[in-house]
Amino acid sequence: MEEIIELKINEFENYLGFSIKKQSIPLELNQPHDEHLFYNLSIKFYDKKDELNKTIKKTKEILNLLIKTKQNKHIIETYYSLLGNLYYINAQFNNAAGCFMKCLTINKNDITSWIELLFTLRCMGKFKLFEKGIFNFEKIYKIWQNDSENTFNQKKFLEIIKQINF
Amino acid sequence: MDNIIPNLITNYKPKKFGKEYVNINGSSQYPMFISTALGIKPSFDDWVDVKHYKKFVKMCKNYNLFVDPDVIFQKPKSNKNALIGGNTLTTTYAIGKKYNPKIKNGKVHVFISKSKKTLLEAKKFGWYPVATKSRCINKPFIDHLRFGKKLGFPSCCINFFKKYNNWNIYSHPFETFKKTPKNNQKITGSYLCNNFLMDNTFFLIHHLPCSYRCKKTMNYAKSVEENIKKVEPDFIKKTKQLLKKPLLVFSERNFIIFDGKLSNNSLKYTNYQYLTNPGRPEETIGFFNSIKNGNKIEFKYNKLLIKKNDKITSLITKKNTWFMINFE
């Protein structure tokens, strides 16, 4: 099974033309978020609706296989991030938000997922939530990092935002 | 001693249309205001002093324009490189604050359109990487392309931007220059595609064209020119004069405009104005004084020669992305 997964990923990366990598960047590193994957996908899929829809389908297939075969968390997170980016490019912002929330459930220590989630909210027209998040970025990151719960969802997000004096 | 000569680019005082806009906000974005008010451009974004914001909204209403505030931009106190992500900034460097009418200093970033729906669509993708506490956060790259679409930029130019707006690899204006078709071995741009003066009052387009003779850009700019001419003919007269002046281009928003004549890699001049990119002071050239003291520039191989009465006064090693261009 491992070999089949590896083969499918290799085929998929060949089709995309670049490798699917996501660097986890904790806040404490004091670095900008990882824009590479989103940048490469934007270049490849801007204004290419059909190709984008096919790629979303392929990504979902691989992601399901990764979950089913209980692959390591980082690769599952990377594929959720990839799927979220693709949905974002396809202007399916609800789906994109869902993917970035999954990423935050899997990994509490990555600023990129937070930033991608916040911009998704902006694209949905939720400007107040976006601003609360972006102007209190360090705070929301730390609240979630220290939260005893493990599932990040819409309810949790609103709960975190409520804790901020703005 | 510096030569004392008047600037080529000044402010513009409208005779008829949009006087109130210029009174509040100056003339640097005046053509965008007119184009949007006349319904040629779907929307634009602008910066308004917080003290004048309410007056600005009221004035726009008189032109049937909606305004929506984004965030407040304030002058930074530290060097951009002290911020996380500061080295990724390309044009704008500012401290961002959530819009609050009680804030007494700074400029409100606003979106303006005749349609409320268009305005909100532009706002969704119109984030600037202002500093929020210790970091500057860039929006996803796709939003630059979407924002361009909402502002009415031609699709060919958005696609070109997608490929070449990587400041670490390309000089966008040089790529545009290379793509401009030659005529008798010479590259001459159309003034309709001259975007260099955007943010400096006298322009017809506010996007990076894919060629200095891009057909779609020319059609759009012609429509801007013709419509503005009906309401503010003096503005178009001055704009056309300036857009036809030769340029020496170093990089995006970093160039010298001349009163002079360019032919065969040789530019004779009597006046000049250097416009630099405030977001990238590191790109400012160090030999402008030599140009001020000369009256002719020549490109020879990889050298830039500055001459005074045909005598070489400076010899500069030229970057291969520097170019001189005429517009007709």
Which residues in chain A have their CB less than 8 angstroms from residue B123's CB? Answer: 127
**Is B98 close to A131, i.e. CB distance below 8 A?**
yes
Above 80 in pLDDT, residue B140?
yes
**Is B127 close to A88, i.e. CB distance below 8 A?**
no
- Mutation site, B87, B142, B161, B163, interface A, largest A CB count within 10 A: B142
Domain ranges of chain B: 152-328
Query: pTM here?
Result: 0.91
Identify the helix (H) or strand (E) that includes residue A6: helix A2-16
CA distances from B141 to A49, A123, B137 (A): 17, 13, 12
With a pLDDT cut of 90, the percent of chain B lying above it is: 82
pLDDT tens for B114-134 read 999 999 999 999 999 888 888
Q: In this complex, is the C-beta atom of A147 within 8 Å of any C-beta atom belonging to chain B?
A: no
Return d(Cα B175, Cα A147) in angstroms, integer.
Answer: 50
**Is B127 close to A89, i.e. CB distance below 8 A?**
no
ipTM: 0.94
- pLDDT reported for residue B92: 67
Is the CATH number of domain A2-18+32-162 1.25.40? Answer: yes
CB pairs under 8 A between A and B: 68
| CA nearest to B122 within chain A | A123
* Bridge-based pairing state of the strands B186-189 and B323-327: parallel
- pLDDT reported for residue B1: 39
**Is A138 close to B98, i.e. CB distance below 8 A?**
no
Q: Would you give the distance in Å from CA B142 to the centre of its chain?
A: 21
**Is A88 close to B155, i.e. CB distance below 8 A?**
no
Helix (H, G, I), strand (E, B) or coil at A90: coil
Confidence band of B90 (pLDDT split at 50, 70, 90): low
Once rounded to an integer, what is the mean pLDDT over residues A63-74? 92
Mean pLDDT of chain B: 93
User: Is residue B204 a contact partner of residue B226, using CB atoms and an 8 Å limit?
Assistant: no
Identify the helix (H) or strand (E) that includes residue B55: helix B53-62
Amino acid (one-letter) located at A49? K
Domain ranges of chain A: 2-18+32-162
pLDDT tens for B239-269 read 999 999 999 999 999 999 999 999 989 999 9
- pLDDT reported for residue B2: 43
pLDDT tens for B169-188 read 899 999 999 999 998 889 99
Which residues in chain A have their CB less than 8 angstroms from residue B125's CB? Answer: 123
Above 70 in pLDDT, residue A48?
yes
**Is B120 close to A125, i.e. CB distance below 8 A?**
yes
Once rounded to an integer, what is the mean pLDDT over residues A123-127? 97
